[in-house]
Amino acid sequence: MRIALLTEGGYPYARGESAAWCGRLVHGLGDHEFTVYALSRSRRQDEGARCPLPPSVREVRTARLWGPPAVGRPGERRGYGRRARALFAAHFAELAAAVCAEEPQADRFATGLYGLADLAREHGRLPAALRSEQAVRLLESACRAPGALRSARSASVPDLLAVVERLERALRPLSLDWYGPGPGESGGDPALTGADLCHAVGAGPAALPALLVRQRIGTPLLLTEYGVRLREHYLGAVGAVGAARRSARGVPPAAAAAPVRSLLASFQARLAAEAYRCAEVITPGNAHARRWQERCGAERDKLRTVYPGMDSRPFTAVAEDDGVADPAPTLVWTGRVEPAKDVVALLHAFAEVRRVEPRARLLLVGSGAADDAAYAAHCRTLAAQLFPDEARDARSVGTNPVTFTEVGSPQVPRLADAYAGAAVVVLSSVVEGFPVSLVEAMFSGRATVSTDAGAVCEVIGGTGLVLPPRNPRALADACLQLLRDPARRARLGAAARARALELFTVEQNLQAFHGMYLELIARRRAEEGASGGGARPFARSAEAHVPVRWASGRLGPEPATADAGAPAVPPVRTCPAPAGRPSWARSAQRPGEPAGPGPRVGAGGGAR
């Protein structure tokens, strides 16, 4: 079957947030045909390295959410005519009213969103209209209307300009040429409209193309979120807002912060709610993300927790090591050196550990270019102040018990080498999503001490010590408990590895998504057969369209047999599009559409 994989700031960009997970997905499900539609967030990402593509990826289409908007189609006018301006005013006014309203107005948001999509398809030039004076005046009227957000009422002209600029970038997918030819045009790329299924990674701009083709021809939408887009916004993932405010002359950043951030957060919330409403299945990566999605309007029957799949093979040799006692017990921390990881609290906790266990050492393995340079320098200075270089005698060179390094350095050539020398692996975060470093430590069979942030408790599940964040004394006490008890460390490490192999491997992740692909395609074929009257629902199973051997439980292609007369496996087919094109401005909910909860996938799917 043909899968349209839509990403924002992720695969196939090597620096993307979901690059590793999406790469394992397209490599592991090689029997399907993928077309990747990628939105880049920055020039550095767009011009950087990309992940190697497997044969299952037929094509990669990219677009930018940064920089000036693309030039319109050749020969078209720069501005709208009178009729198009009136349509734009009506649709953008609905969108702006829903964004500025204090109470959710899903109908008005959907009407404005799909109306703008229709306008972009028929007339083009939507980016220029979104940056026009007309758009600013419409947004200002919505901010001053009764029932508007309290913080939006004080929005100044520079604030409105910053918001309009960000809205234009977020809505650029409405104007892309991914949906086939427009009215009166020939050619075009029908790949997105010809997909059997749209798999969107995130409920932000990446979900917009999937929403449009679902409106147009009813293509099913599977939505996966391992990091909730709205949560990222609240945590400060809106760096471009600061640049937009600084470009406004004479306006202090503090004065512009509240209205801009409030309006953009409201837009993200409305867009996420629309994506959750239209998706057939939503797959959060953990219970922490699941609670965020429910709070943002996702229906509980659509949610199925699927943990990120990680490759355990690099850590197998570490787990099988006999674990000879190290005369200098080492605490290991890995991750990005940034304030959310609270390395400062870890350094203060290690000072308490050194008072009781003078032989202890701390190894901090950062991720290099992804680290916060200023915060990393502050942590190095603090470590030098807390732990002056020590020497055993007058003839020895002093060394520091705290070591900062990176993966690929002579000390840590591979990430597995960091865990190999660890007595205890520590996580000290105050903000965390899915703790990848903990899963790596569990694959390595190492005991862990973690702060209760994000999905830490869900991942650990009783196989490690968990304590409140921002508590260096409690962190030090937990580390000392494990350093003093090697037998307990061994028991916790073995239990952690068994749990990780059961829940967090690539295999369980691929099987979960493979099953959901088949379920959604079968459901769509059943609806088409029931509405058309010609075909019988489930007269032909969805498995018949995928070249795999189900009896053996393999996910790879069916091996060749000696029987030359055996019938060939039916090729992958594309669902035919129904005749006619419904307007994109209609409601995203099809009449009589079943919710279809389906079976829960993966352990912990019902956790809240």
pLDDT, tens only, 67-93:
888 765 555 556 688 899 999 999 999
Q: State how beta strands 330-334 and 424-427 pair.
A: parallel
Share of the chain above pLDDT 70, in %: 76
pLDDT, residue 393, reads 64
Could you give the CA distance from residue 16 to residue 7 in angstroms, rounded to a whole number?
9
pLDDT, residue 388, reads 85
Give the residue-averaged pLDDT of 202-215. 94
What is the edge-to-edge ordering of all strands in the sheet holding 281-284? Answer: 57-64, 33-40, 2-8, 197-201, 221-225, 281-284
Give the residue-averaged pLDDT of 25-49. 91
- The confidence band for 598, taking pLDDT boundaries of 50, 70 and 90, is very low
Closest to 458 measured CA to CA, from 492, 509, 504: 504
Does position 585 have pLDDT exceeding 60, yes or no?
no
Residue 297, phi then psi, degrees to nearest 5: 110, 0
pLDDT, residue 193, reads 86
pLDDT, residue 329, reads 92
**Cα→Cα distances 571→1, 94, 106, 552, 575, Å:** 9, 45, 41, 20, 13
Please provide the distance, in angstroms rounded to a whole number, between the alpha carbons at the two ends of the chain.
33
Does position 188 have pLDDT exceeding 80, yes or no?
no
Please state which of the ranges 197-206, 395-404, 493-502, 580-589 shows the lowest mean pLDDT. 580-589
310-322 exposure pattern, b = at least 16 Cβ within 10 A, e = fewer: bebeebeebbeee
145-172 exposure pattern, b = at least 16 Cβ within 10 A, e = fewer: eeebbebbeebeebbbbbbbbbbbbbbb
pLDDT, residue 449, reads 98
Residue 478, phi then psi, degrees to nearest 5: -65, -40
Does position 160 have pLDDT exceeding 50, yes or no?
yes
Could you give the CA distance from residue 401 to residue 391 in angstroms, rounded to a whole number?
11
Could you give the CA distance from residue 321 to residue 446 in angstroms, rounded to a whole number?
11
- The confidence band for 252, taking pLDDT boundaries of 50, 70 and 90, is very low
pLDDT, residue 74, reads 53
Q: Are 531 and 576 in contact (CB under 8 A)?
A: no
